[in-house]
């Protein structure tokens, strides 16, 4: 009986110490901004995941500027947070501020994008998709869809210097380099936004015989694809038929476009990057366990047949 009581007390105190630890943790999250539906969902899901674990989450919106992110990180250090999450807008220029976080023993977690630093001990882990694979999956879909037909692709890239834009481009190029009939004829950044995606697509259409020379759009995110769809319609062509549309994210609006026949395929990026990062942080605080350097999320292809179920599943996620 005494043994049982002692065990129960021990288990109780372990559970207590874990929950006290979670509820007393404060995490500062430097978010990029609100350039896309996916980004809005990532922010919303991060709040939900923090609440589930009793973590106090402070979010700072950098409005697409790295300098604002660096200021936010310094402010989190000054506040003495327990950990810092960063969705890095671009991949370079992080070394000095991460050294400062390291000096104060504050672990840094990267969400959805990577960075290049000489010393990778400056961050604990990054939670991202394999962004090269995302590009490959999109490229392979196009290869399988056009078969032997010759296909001129226009590419809407994400933010210049962002790891995801660099990697998605690399993956798509790698896939289409295995065939002779598909090539990229125009490529430019649409900054991951709908408005810029539309503007750039309009210029592509003008330059390519009123769009008649274009067979497909590869957009690094769904928002730019939606902007491109608008531009194609305004040019009197049918998106999804005259010009194929393949993009990345799997946001509800691209599924709505699929249901209208305007879009053809998307590769999913989960908006839940914070959940795995919180779990890695809690386990590190509890046991000192170092998480793997990269926590990789899935990159699944979705087609028009998947649209109704995806829309239903994603309706309350904050997109």
Residues engaged in binding ligand AHR (CB under 6 A) = 35-36, 38-39, 112-113, 164, 192, 221, 223, 248-249, 269
Closest approach, Cβ 225 to ligand AHR, in A, equals 10
113 vs 198, beta carbon nearer ligand AHR: 113
146 vs 296, beta carbon nearer ligand AHR: 296
Closest approach, Cβ 307 to ligand AHR, in A, equals 18
Q: Strands 216-219, 26-31: parallel, antiparallel or unpaired by DSSP?
A: unpaired
Closest approach, Cβ 249 to ligand AHR, in A, equals 5
Closest approach, Cβ 256 to ligand AHR, in A, equals 16
Closest approach, Cβ 38 to ligand AHR, in A, equals 4
Query: CA-based Rg of the chain, rounded to a whole angstrom?
Result: 22
Identify the bridge partners of residue 156 per DSSP, sorted by sequence position.
188, 219
Closest approach, Cβ 113 to ligand AHR, in A, equals 5
Closest approach, Cβ 131 to ligand AHR, in A, equals 8
Contact between 212 and 206 (Cβ < 8 Å) = no
Q: Phi and psi at residue 85, in whole multiples of 5°?
A: -105, 135
221 vs 264, beta carbon nearer ligand AHR: 221
117 vs 185, beta carbon nearer ligand AHR: 117
25 vs 41, beta carbon nearer ligand AHR: 41
Q: Strands 244-249, 265-268: parallel, antiparallel or unpaired by DSSP?
A: parallel
Closest approach, Cβ 43 to ligand AHR, in A, equals 11
152 vs 230, beta carbon nearer ligand AHR: 230
Per residue, the 3-state secondary structure of the chain, as one string, reads CHHHHHHHHHHHHHHHHHHHHHHCCEEEEEECCCCCHHHHHHHHHHHHHHHHCCCEEEEEECCCCHHHHHHHHHHHHHHCCCEEEECCCCCCCCHHHHHHHHHCCCCEEEECCCCCCCCHHHCCEEEEECHHHHHHHHHHHHHHHHCCCCEEEEEEECCCCCHHHHHHHHHHHHHHCCCCCEEEEEEEECCCCHHHHHHHHHHHHHHCHHHCCCCEEEECCHHHHHHHHHHHHHCCCCECCCEEEEEEECCHHHHHHHHCCCCCEEEECCCCCHHHHHHHHHHHHHHCCCCCCEEEECCCEECHHHHHHHHHHCCCCCC
215 vs 219, beta carbon nearer ligand AHR: 219
207 vs 296, beta carbon nearer ligand AHR: 296
């Amino acid at each position: 009986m005494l043994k049982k009581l002692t065990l129960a007390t021990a288990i109780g105190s372990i559970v207590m110490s874990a929950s006290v630890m979670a509820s007393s943790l404060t995490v500062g999250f430097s978010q990029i901004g609100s350039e896309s539906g996916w980004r809005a969902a990532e922010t919303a899901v991060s709040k939900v995941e923090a609440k589930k674990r009793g973590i106090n989450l402070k979010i700072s919106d950098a409005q697409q500027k790295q300098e604002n992110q660096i200021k936010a990180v310094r402010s989190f250090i000054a506040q003495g947070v327990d950990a810092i999450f960063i969705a890095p807008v671009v991949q370079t220029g992080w070394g000095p501020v991460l050294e400062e976080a390291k000096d104060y023993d504050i672990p840094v977690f990267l969400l959805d994008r990577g960075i290049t630093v000489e010393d990778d001990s400056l961050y604990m882990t990054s939670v991202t998709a394999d962004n090269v694979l995302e590009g490959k999956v999109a490229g392979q879909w196009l290869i399988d869809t056009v078969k032997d037909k010759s296909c001129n692709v226009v590419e809407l890239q994400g933010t210049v210097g962002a790891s995801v834009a660099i990697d998605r481009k690399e993956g798509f190029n790698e896939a289409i380099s295995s065939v002779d009939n598909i090539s990229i004829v125009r490529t430019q950044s649409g900054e991951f936004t709908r408005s810029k995606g539309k503007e750039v697509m309009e210029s592509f259409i003008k330059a390519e015989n009123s769009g008649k020379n274009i067979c497909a759009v590869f957009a690094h995110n769904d928002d730019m694809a939606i902007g491109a769809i608008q531009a194609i319609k305004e040019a009197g062509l049918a998106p999804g038929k005259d010009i194929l549309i393949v993009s990345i994210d799997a946001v509800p609006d691209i599924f709505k476009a699929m249901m209208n026949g305007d879009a053809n395929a998307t590769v999913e990026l989960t908006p839940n990057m914070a959940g795995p990062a919180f779990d890695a942080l809690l386990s590190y605080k509890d046991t000192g366990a170092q998480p793997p350097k990269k926590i990789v999320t899935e990159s699944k292809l979705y087609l028009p047949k998947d649209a109704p179920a995806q829309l239903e599943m994603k309706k309350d996620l904050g997109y």
